[in-house]
Amino acid sequence: MADVIETDVLVIGGGAAGTNAVLKAADRGAKTMMVVKGLIGKSGCSIFASTIPFGTPTQEWAVDDMSPEERSRHRLVFMVRYYNHYLADQEYCRRLDAYMRTEFFGDLERLGAYWRRDDSGRIQPTGSRRTPNLVAHKQGATGPAILDKRRREILRRDIPVHEECAVTSLLTDGGCVVAATVLDYRRGKFFVVTAKSVILATGHSDYLATRSTGTREQSADGVAMALRAGAELANLEIQWWHTSDVLEPKAWMRFHLYPNPLMGTQETSRLYNSLGEMFYEQKTHSPGASAPYTEQIRRLSREVAAGKARWDGGYHSGYDHIPAEITRTHQHRPRC
């Protein structure tokens, strides 16, 4: 007979969304619990995050005589046109912008995250004014720095956490999800968690594709469990296939090699075809783009059509043209 644990709110997933959800639920007085297939903050895409969008500009960031409302509309139009946000719930994006400015960054700062500020105390984002970002001290460590603080806060508040435990199914009653079955694969135990509310924070669904740029730890398990249970899904992340790969070693999944400028510099990676010819570099081909992924895809399609690359490989990203000092200064994260 499996053990049964009761709680008010069960959060499945220990990345940025899961850690934030469990802390917010605890703030409201709910009895909370987390189930994480790996370790809190160490088994998802969040650990690779180096910058965080600063959200819709307010008056202090408005330029060119635009009002905050005009600036907000301008940025949303830009994001829809160039950043594929036409696939997203735009009203949700607006609410997210407001939440990040009014709560998210303040919460992290109270936990010890360091944001650069000017002499008047205003947060100083980096990057273009159109898409400002925040970067934790020593770029390349924003994701780990934030999630380490989230982890410490969760443990400090004695919120029950089951790490290295995989949820295997969601259980329903009257059409509502009321419980989850869990396999503790490290100890070889099986148990059930009942809850008044279940929050799925399991990331996007990279395993739905044969080859993708998601991390190995991310999977479509959350989506599959919800569909099997007939649960209603909200704020579902799309899968985004990045045009990136490494020359060696060969891998069945691509790595996160973004084409954007390395933080603190205008240097960008290059894409090479199977003949070693460069066919894309952001600072050369689309220097003003905040997310040049669609342009990468267009140029890759030409290489594929010419027989110089394949959709599943035959091309790679390169950083060897960038001075080593830039990489060490802005991208290197010391081993702990």
pLDDT digits (tens, 9 = 90+) for 82-123: 555 556 667 776 777 677 777 877 777 787 777 777 788 777
Domains of the chain, start order: 3-46+150-229 (3.50.50.60), 51-139 (no CATH), 243-336 (no CATH)
Q: Alpha carbon of 5 to those of 10, 33, 35, 59, 146: distances in Å?
A: 10, 10, 12, 49, 29
pTM of the model: 0.71
Dihedral sign of CA atoms 255, 217, 241, 333 in order? negative
DSSP assignments along 160-187, one per residue: -EE-SEEEEEEEEETTEEEEEEEEETTT
Amino acid at site 232: E
At residue 105, the pLDDT reads 78
Contacts of 251 (CB under 8 A, 6+ apart): 245
At residue 60, the pLDDT reads 43
DSSP assignments along 188-240, one per residue: TEEEEEEEEEEEE-----GGGSSS-SS-TT--SHHHHHHHHHT----SPPPP-
CA atoms within 13 A on the CB side of 89: 8
Amino acid at site 224: A
At residue 33, the pLDDT reads 97
At residue 261, the pLDDT reads 79
At residue 58, the pLDDT reads 44
At residue 103, the pLDDT reads 80
Q: Alpha carbon of 296 to those of 81, 267, 268, 278, 307: distances in Å?
A: 16, 16, 13, 12, 17
Across the 336 residues of the chain, what is the mean pLDDT of every consecutive 10-residue run?
92 91 96 94 68 54 56 62 61 72 78 75 65 58 78 94 95 92 95 95 70 59 85 67 73 64 80 95 83 83 96 87 80 54
Q: Report how far residue 170's alpha carbon sits from residue 129's, in angstroms, rounded to the nearest whole number.
A: 44
Rg (CA), the chain: 21
At residue 157, the pLDDT reads 95
Q: Tokens for 160?
A: 């029950």
Q: Report how far residue 188's alpha carbon sits from residue 110's, in angstroms, rounded to the nearest whole number.
A: 38
Torsion of CA 69, 71, 75, 76, to 10 degrees: 10
Geometric angle at alpha carbon 170, from 234 and 2, rounded to 5°: 155
Q: Tokens for 113?
A: 């995250």
